[in-house]
Copies of this chain bind each other. A is one copy, B any other.
Amino acid sequence: MLKFNEEEILSNMRAALALRPEMERILDQVEHEGIRNVCWLGIGGTWASCMQAVVLMKERSAREVFALNAAEYNTTGDRRVGKGTFIVISSVTGTTEEMITAVRKSQEAGAKVLGFVNKVDTPLADMVDWCLTAQQNEQLKFFMVADYLMHLEGVFPDYEKCYQQIDTFVPEGIVAVEKSADDFGRSFAEKHKADALHYFVGAGTLYGATYSYAMCYWEEMHWRRTKSIHSAEFFHGMLEIIDEDTPVTVFIAEDSQRELGLRVKRFLEHYNRNYTIIDTADYPLEGLDPAYRSRISHMIMHAVTNRIDAHMSDLNQHDMSLRRYYRTVKY
């Protein structure tokens, strides 16, 4: 299978899950010292992941939880960030300049920062109050933190059972999803590889994925034009530019906002003939209770879009690691 390293996927996912005991010890300590509010801090792709973690928590938690864009924080500030603020970040490189500034500013204000930083001996890895390192799976790491915080709050009594199932079944389950999505990925890439503009629509625990798949994958890595929109917002403006042949892809999760995506699907069935629905419910994952599937919708979606990426990149002969501007030229 094209660009598919099963062993690497499995070992990365298991390494991320293996961070859980240490993460729990850190959160026990933070909770003991007192949490006034929880802040997910990011920019670009990590900002997208922050938005998803907030949706997950907002439904269940009575804590004050918010997502903060690093560049906004560096300029506008946020007076809610201070002593008692528990911040979570993630970084692949450990060097993103807006994040370095924001972490420093938040710590000066009295906040404590947990960082999933994939490279040790980098500025972000050195700055954060606690650093956990494992490759890939940013969203899984964020959900692990969110879920344990909710466990500590007493609003996720199933936590142990849920993560026992995730530990046991999800790594191989996600590999199976990716394999089963390969044919779809190829035909989608063949059909849409040269679209002048592709629309991505999504909601809930997949809104961040919708936003970042459009921006961080198609725009940044494939150099293809996109617009992403929230499934609810689709009906408040964007729908008017939908013609019969407008290319639209809808991401649908098995979470509280599922109905918002299904509504877009029903609209497109009537007024469009060039849409694709990627519904995580179409991908079984053995061993996991249906009630917990909302927690891994993002992983199923990522496994599916990985197959699109592999074939798009191959068909367009476009190396996804190429950048024209980002970290390449000065601006």
Contact = CB atoms under 8 A, between A and B. Distances in A.
Interface of A: 43-45, 47, 55, 58-62, 64, 66, 69-72, 75-80, 98, 196-197, 203-204, 212, 215-216, 219-221, 223-227, 229-230, 232-233, 235-242, 255-257, 259-260, 263, 266-267, 270-271, 323-326, 329, 331
B232 A69 contact: yes
B237 A216 contact: yes
B266 A331 contact: yes
A76 B223 contact: no
Residue of A76, A233, A325 most packed against chain B (CB within 10 A): A76
Q: So how many copies of this chain end up in the complex? A: 2
A260 B71 contact: yes
Given A76-B256, A80-B64, A256-B77, A230 B323 contact: no
Contacts of A326: 235-236, 239-240
A230 B69 contact: yes
Contacts of A215: 229, 233, 236-238
Nearest to A65: B80
A79 B63 CA distance: 8
A110 to B, nearest CB: 13
Contacts of A324: 240
B259 A75 contact: yes
B225 A197 contact: yes
Contacts of A256: 75-77
Contact of A71 (B77, B220, B232): B232
Contacts of A69: 230, 232-233
A267 B263 CA distance: 39
List the 10 shortest-distance A-B pairs measured between CB atoms, nearest first.
Answer: A44-B236, A71-B232, A215-B237, A220-B237, A267-B331, A76-B256, A227-B227, A62-B79, A75-B257, A59-B76
A263 B266 CA distance: 41
A260 B71 CA distance: 8
A216 B241 CA distance: 11
Contacts of A66: 66
A44 B220 contact: no
Residue of A45, A58, A59, A203 most packed against chain B (CB within 10 A): A58
Given A62-B80, A241-B223, A72 B257 contact: yes
B242 A325 contact: yes
Residue of A216, A225, A229 most packed against chain B (CB within 10 A): A225
A235 to B, nearest CB: 7
A286 B223 CA distance: 45
B260 A75 contact: yes
B77 A232 contact: no
A211 to B, nearest CB: 9
Contacts of A240: 219-221, 223, 323-326
Contact of A197 (B64, B75, B197): B197
